[in-house]
Amino acid sequence: MPEISEVLKKKGLKATPQRMAIYQALLSTDAHPGAEVIYEQLKMAYPTLSLNTVYTNLDILADVGLIRRIDSGEGLFRYDGNPSPHLHIICTDCRKVEDIYGDCSIDLADMTGKVEKWSGYKVNDHALYFFGQCPECLKR
Amino acid sequence: MPEISEVLKKKGLKATPQRMAIYQALLSTDAHPGAEVIYEQLKMAYPTLSLNTVYTNLDILADVGLIRRIDSGEGLFRYDGNPSPHLHIICTDCRKVEDIYGDCSIDLADMTGKVEKWSGYKVNDHALYFFGQCPECLKR
DNA sequence: TTCAGTGCAAAGACTTTGCACTCAG
DNA sequence: CTGAGTGCAAAGTCTTTGCACTGAA
């Protein structure tokens, strides 16, 4: 994975096999996995990988802005390979987390401006979660 | 606190002193405390109160919709005495959580409709967090 | 009276820390 | 080489569970 190692180096990070694998794993899924899931998934290919390393690298990757930490309210953190602020919808039955694309984000840019004026905060980021039941769970 | 015991009974909950105190504590602050903070605060007045009871009751109160569980991304849950969906702004420096009131929520009602159409979900709730630096932290 | 609620302790889940070893640059 | 990164183990933090006791209705 030549591109990935370049992206990491640009951020001043060493392109270790573990780090590349963790980042790659996030880029290649839209399932918003947690640390444990990524660890289990990579253990096959990297038997010596430690859970610690997964946590450490998820932190580092989120710090430099390559990935995004998601807090779905389950008491664990999930991660998203797409770091740009976007919307998530969470099924309260099966706990699935899905991305929402569309024209919604336009409204949010407006709102950020309003919020800055109102609160006096310097707003750097936002997170919008919708909670409900996914089509599959609704069928039951 | 006569009103509080009535509110609890209407929800089918026994109005125990501990439960009333926990609910009252949330109603009388806008600081969005976590379980531990509430526990420490009430221990003066209720020396035998157990942390377990605080957790149990926060869960119950959130279940019946009297309070709201907030996940500020710190790895702990905070609680809000105002259960109606409203916006929160979180200072990334001092970790303060504040409410945002204003005309923003109108846009969100629109957005919820869009999201339902787009995703096929039945949306029951949403949470919008803004992250930034509060006026006090900006001064430093 | 009677069961929901409480309190204590212990366990559980997720995450972080400490430290010696290793390998990418 | 050399410090950033890794792996193992242990500890930490927040939260939940088990179970006998208690008190609100």
CB B58 within 8 A of CB B35: yes
pLDDT over 90, % of chain B: 73
Q: What is the pLDDT of residues B68-125, one digit of tens each?
A: 999 888 889 999 999 887 889 999 989 999 998 876 666 778 888 989 999 999 999 8
Predicted TM-score of the model (pTM): 0.89
Task: Tell me the mean pLDDT in the region A1-15.
Answer: 90
CB A7 within 8 A of CB A54: no
Residue with more model confidence, B102 or A34: A34
**In chain D, which nucleotides are within 7 Å of a protein Cβ?**
4-10, 13-18, 23-25
Residue with more model confidence, A25 or A74: A25
CB-based contact A71 B69, cutoff 8 Å = no
CA–CA distances in Å: residue A103 to residues A52, A87, B28, B65, B86 = 38, 11, 39, 31, 22
Structure tokens at A80: 């998203």
Per-window interface: B 9-28 vs A, CB < 8 A: none
Residue A135 has pLDDT above 70, yes or no: yes
Q: Is nucleic acid strand C under 7 Å from A76's C-beta?
A: yes
- Tell me the count of A-B CB pairs closer than 8 A: 120
| Exposed/middle/buried for residue A35 (C-beta within 10 Å: 0-12, 13-18, 19+) | buried
Say how many residues make up chain B: 140
Check CB contact of A94 with chain B, cutoff 8 Å: no
Spell out where chain A has E strands.
68-71, 77-80, 87-91, 97-100, 122-133
d(CA B128, CA B100): 10
* A33 Cα to chain B: minimum distance (Å): 16
Per-window interface: B 97-136 vs A, CB < 8 A: 98, 100, 102-104, 107, 110-112, 114-116, 118-135
> DSSP class of residue A140?
-
Of A71, A118, A131, nearest to B102 by CB-CB distance is A118
